[in-house]
Amino acid sequence: MTTSTNTPAQGVERAYGPMSWGINPTDPAANAAHAARMNHAALVLNRAADVFYYEAGHDLDRRYQAHPTHVVLAAAALALQMDGQGAHPLHDSFGWVYDSCAEDEMRALGEAVTREEAEEIDTLAREMCAAKMLARIVTLAIANGDVPLAGMVAGELPGVWDSISGGEIEDLARLASRTALRNVDLAKLCSSEAE
């Protein structure tokens, strides 16, 4: 198993350079708090990276696995950038170098993958963004509709899904879009999206 070179055995895992943007030289207390948060984030990021390395080591042949682990992780990174820029998965061009704080890192990622992988990553990132958008739309429709939409959807699902209830669909939609809808006025959102 491949592991990070910045392991706990070497002491506290330090934040990487790009994680230090919030340092304020005029406020030592804020600096200390920020450094503590970033050092903790570095520890968690490294442990999460170890999981991805381990999973990649168990990847199957393309015939048996839809997407290799490294492609899934790259797509998650691209989706994070596109979601942060408010890009639409159907209409916007997902450039690898975008107007974000991670332009250099995204450029390096784009240069590391093959042309085939780049297309696969782009498609998968769009799917991720579309799934979040669809969950948000369904949540809004359920919350603002006068008809039992979730029950109707459950009734139209094929047999393999016949154990899913309208209540579960509501809960799944809310869960999938919880972060996107947090502290958002649903009525205001509905009116703006209808325009």
Both tokens of residue 105? 């890192």
Residues 150, 134 contacting (CB under 8 angstroms): no
Residue 188 binned pLDDT confidence (cut-offs 50, 70, 90): low
In the chain, the largest separation of any two C-alpha atoms, in whole Å, equals 63
pTM to 2 decimal places: 0.79
- pLDDT digit string, tens, across residues 132-145: 999 989 988 888 88
Both tokens of residue 103? 């332009």
- pLDDT digit string, tens, across residues 6-52: 444 455 677 887 887 767 778 888 888 888 899 999 999 999 999 99
**pLDDT in the model for residue 45:** 93
38-46 long-range contacts, Cβ below 8 Å, gap at least 24? 39/12, 39/13, 39/14, 39/15, 41/15, 42/6, 42/13, 42/14, 42/15, 42/16, 43/8, 43/12, 43/13, 46/4, 46/6, 46/7, 46/13
- Delimit the domains of the chain by residue range: 1-58, 59-194
- pLDDT digit string, tens, across residues 80-117: 988 888 888 988 877 766 667 788 888 899 999 999 99
Cα separation, 16 vs 126, in Å, equals 28
92-101 long-range contacts, Cβ below 8 Å, gap at least 24? 94/122, 94/125, 94/126, 101/18, 101/21
